[in-house]
C-alpha cells in the first residue's frame, strides 16, 4: 500500500497541472477572497476547466450580492430602461423577469405576499375576516330564481288612452252615484294609469251629473272636493272646466240648462278651493261664446251673494232622505192628485224617482189607499190599482214596501172608519181587486181585517148584538 502511494506521488505531472501541495489556499476556485486576480495571469496560467469554474463562481457571487442588497433596501432599487436590474446576472437575457420571484416586478415592495396573504386565486381572505351577505345578481350566470324564495312581480299598468278613458271612468262615476263613497273612487282611480289625461275625469263626472239629478250633482261636487290635492291639482281642475266651457254648445243639446248648472259647479268649486280664486278673472274680456258667458255670469252672481261662499254648500238644494218627512208626504200627495187628474203613469213614475227616497215608498202606498177610501165611486180605486201595478212591475216599489204600506192601513183602519164609515167594504173590495191583478200576495190579502155581518136579535136575548 505504501508502495502505491509513493508511486502516485513520484509520477510525473501532466502539463499545466497544479498540485494541491504547491497551490496556495487563496487560489482555490471556490474561495470568496480571491477578488484581485490579474486577468493576464488567469488567461496565461489557468486551464479551461479552471476558467469555467472561475466564471461559475463569479455568477454565484453576483447572485448573492443581489439578494443581500434587495433585502436591505428594496426602495433603492430601480429598473433600467433596458429592463436590466442593477447588480443582476450580467449573462441573463435582458428584460426577462423570473415568474417565480415573489418580489415586486417594478422594483418596489419588500417581497411580501399581496394583501397579507388574503388575495389570489382560490383564497377566501385573511383569517378572521367576516363577509356581509351579498344580494344575488340577476345577471349572474349561476343565478337560480327558484332558490331565491318568494318572487315578487311588479305589475306595470299601461297608460290609458284618451279614447278609452271615458269607457273606463263612466262605470266608476255611475257606481259612485249609488253608494256615495269617495274613498272607493279614489282607490279605483289609483289602479288606473290615467297619465296626462287625468283631468279628463273631472269633465266626465260633471257631464254625467248634468244629465242626472240634483243629488248626483251634489255628490259630484263632494267628490271633486275630496279628490282635490290628492288625485287632482287646482291646475288640472281648471283645465277640465275650461274644456267644458268650450264644449257648452254640445252639452246644451242633451241638457238645455247646462250653462246655469256649469256656473253653479264653478261657484261651488271656488268655494271649496277646488278651483283657484282668480278663475273668473282670467276670463274677463276673453269669452266669445254666449253660453260660456252665461255660465261665468251665473258663477259670479252666486259668489257675490250676501251669504258669500258659505251659502254655496246648498247650491244644489237638499235631496233624498235629508228632506223633512212632512215635505216628502206633501210631495207624494201632490203626485197622486196630479195622477188622478191626468192619468199619466210615466209622469208619476218620474216624479217619484226624482224624490230619491226608495226607503220611503211605503208612504206612497199608504197615501194611495187612503185616497181610495176617501173617494166616491170605483174610478179612483181602478186608477190607483193601475198605478201600484205599474210601480210593482217596474220594481220601483218592492215587496217589502208594498206590504208595509198595506199593513199600515190595516192597523189604522178602525181610526179611518171614524171619518169614513164605509171604509171597511171599500177596503175589502180594493184588496180583492189588487189580488186579482197580482199587485199583492194571497198572504197580504188574508191579513186584511174583514168586518162580519151584524144583526139585532129578539128582546129575549137581552138586546145583545151577535155576529
- For residues 172 and 303, state if they share a domain: yes
* CATH classification at residue 300: 1.25.40.180
In a shared domain, residues 209 and 285: yes
What is the span of the domain harbouring residue 241?
162-314
**Top-ranked range on mean pLDDT: pick from 229-233, 302-306, 364-368:** 364-368
Whether 268 and 380 map to the same domain: the answer is no
Q: Which of 314, 345, 368 is the last residue of a domain?
A: 314
According to the model, what pLDDT value does residue 15 have? 42
Cβ atoms of 183 and 222 closer than 8 Å: no
Residue 450's closest CA among 429, 420, 421, 419? 429
Within its chain, how far is the Cα of 22 from the centroid?
A: 107
Whether pLDDT at 109 is above 60: yes
Distance CA 174, CA 219 (A): 11
Task: Judge whether 10 lies within some domain.
Answer: no
Whether residues 299 and 339 share a domain: the answer is no
The answer as to whether 92 is a domain residue is no
Q: Tell me if residue 13 falls in helix, strand or coil.
A: coil
Helix (H) or strand (E) holding 241: helix 234-246
At residue 32 the predicted structure's pLDDT band, cuts being 50, 70 and 90, is very low
Query: Over 70: is that where the pLDDT of 267 sits?
Result: yes
pLDDT at 294 over 80: yes
Can you name the residues that pair with 228 across neighbouring β-strands?
232
CA–CA gap between residue 37 and residue 32 (Å, rounded): 12
Task: Tell me whether residue 199 is in a domain.
Answer: yes
Residues 289 and 355 in one domain: no
Together in a domain, 298 and 356: no
Q: Is residue 51's pLDDT more than 90?
A: no
Residue 283 lies in a domain: yes
Under the banding of pLDDT at 50, 70 and 90, the label for residue 260 is very high
Same domain, 347 and 277: no
Same-domain status, 372 and 391: yes
Flag whether pLDDT at 159 surpasses 60: yes
Greater pLDDT, 288 or 114: 288
What does the pLDDT read at residue 82?
Answer: 44
**Which residues have C-beta within 8 Å of that of residue 90, sequence separation ≥ 6?**
62
Q: Full-prediction pTM beyond 0.85?
A: no
Return the pLDDT at 308. Answer: 56
The answer to whether residue 239 scores a pLDDT higher than 90 is: yes
pLDDT at residue 296, rounded to an integer: 92
Place of cell 279628490: 227
Report whether pLDDT(357) > 50: yes
* Domain end among 280, 314, 348: 314
Domain for residue 336, yes or no?
yes
Q: Are residues 305 and 326 in the same domain?
A: no
Domain assignment present for residue 236? The answer is: yes
Contact 113, 80 (CB under 8 A): no
- What is the average pLDDT value for the chain, to the nearest integer? 78
Task: Please give the grid coordinates belonging to residue 275.
Answer: 278651483
**Is 310 in the same domain as 205?**
yes
Distance spanning both ends of the chain, measured CA to CA:
177
Query: What is the maximum span of the chain, computed from C-alpha positions, in angstroms?
Result: 197
Q: How many angstroms separate the CA atoms of 159 and 315, rounded?
A: 36
Assign 456 to helix, strand or coil.
Answer: strand
Q: Is 167 part of any domain?
A: yes
- The total of structural domains in the chain comes to 3
In a domain, 403, yes or no: yes
Amino acid at each position: 500500500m505504501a508502495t502505491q502511494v509513493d508511486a502516485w506521488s513520484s509520477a510525473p505531472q501532466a502539463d499545466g497541472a497544479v498540485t494541491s501541495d504547491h497551490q496556495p489556499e487563496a487560489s482555490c476556485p471556490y474561495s470568496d477572497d480571491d477578488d484581485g486576480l490579474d486577468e493576464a495571469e488567469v488567461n496565461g496560467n489557468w486551464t479551461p476547466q479552471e476558467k469555467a469554474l472561475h466564471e461559475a463562481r463569479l455568477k454565484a457571487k453576483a447572485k448573492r450580492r443581489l439578494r443581500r442588497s434587495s433585502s436591505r433596501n428594496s426602495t433603492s432599487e430601480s429598473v433600467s430602461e433596458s429592463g436590466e436590474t442593477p447588480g443582476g446576472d450580467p449573462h441573463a437575457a435582458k428584460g426577462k423577469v423570473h415568474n417565480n420571484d415573489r418580489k415586486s416586478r417594478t422594483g418596489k415592495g419588500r417581497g411580501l405576499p399581496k394583501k397579507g396573504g388574503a388575495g389570489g386565486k382560490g383564497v377566501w381572505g385573511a383569517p378572521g375576516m367576516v363577509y356581509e351577505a351579498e344580494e344575488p345578481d340577476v345577471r349572474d350566470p349561476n343565478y337560480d330564481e327558484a332558490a331565491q324564495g318568494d318572487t315578487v312581480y311588479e305589475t306595470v299598468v299601461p297608460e290609458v288612452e284618451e279614447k278609452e278613458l271615458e269607457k273606463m271612468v263612466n262605470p266608476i262615476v255611475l257606481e259612485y252615484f249609488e253608494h256615495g263613497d269617495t274613498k272607493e273612487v279614489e282607490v279605483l282611480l289609483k289602479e288606473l294609469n290615467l297619465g296626462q289625461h287625468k283631468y279628463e275625469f273631472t269633465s266626465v263626472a260633471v257631464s254625467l251629473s248634468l244629465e242626472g239629478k240634483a243629488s248626483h250633482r251634489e255628490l259630484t261636487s263632494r267628490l271633486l272636493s275630496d279628490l282635490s290635492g290628492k288625485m287632482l291639482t287646482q291646475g288640472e281642475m281648471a283645465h277640465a272646466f275650461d274644456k267644458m266651457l268650450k264644449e257648452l254648445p254640445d252639452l246644451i243639446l242633451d241638457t238645455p240648462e247646462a250653462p246655469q248648472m256649469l256656473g253653479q259647479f264653478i261657484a261651488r268649486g271656488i268655494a271649496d278651493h277646488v278651483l283657484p280664486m282668480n278663475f273668473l278673472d282670467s276670463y274677463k274680456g276673453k269669452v266669445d261664446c254666449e253660453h260660456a258667458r252665461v255660465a261665468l255670469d251665473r258663477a259670479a252672481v252666486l259668489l257675490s251673494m250676501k251669504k258669500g261662499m258659505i251659502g254655496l254648500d246648498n247650491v244644489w238644494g237638499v235631496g233624498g232622505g235629508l228632506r223633512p218627512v212632512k215635505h216628502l208626504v206633501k210631495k207624494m200627495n201632490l203626485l197622486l192628485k196630479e195622477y188622478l187628474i191626468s192619468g199619466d203613469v210615466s209622469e208619476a213614475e218620474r216624479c217619484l224617482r226624482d224624490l230619491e227616497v226608495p226607503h220611503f215608498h211605503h208612504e206612497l202606498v199608504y197615501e194611495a189607499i187612503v185616497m181610495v177610501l176617501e173617494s166616491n165611486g170605483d174610478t179612483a180605486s181602478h186608477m190607483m190599482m193601475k198605478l201600484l201595478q205599474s210601480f210593482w212591475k217596474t220594481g220601483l216599489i218592492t215587496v217589502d214596501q208594498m206590504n208595509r204600506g198595506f199593513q199600515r192601513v190595516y192597523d189604522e183602519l178602525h181610526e179611518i172608519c171614524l171619518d169614513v164609515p164605509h171604509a171597511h167594504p171599500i177596503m175589502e173590495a180594493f184588496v180583492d181587486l189588487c189580488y186579482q191583478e197580482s199587485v199583492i200576495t194571497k198572504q197580504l190579502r188574508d191579513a186584511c181585517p174583514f168586518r162580519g155581518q151584524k144583526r139585532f136579535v129578539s128582546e129575549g136575548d137581552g138586546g145583545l148584538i151577535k155576529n
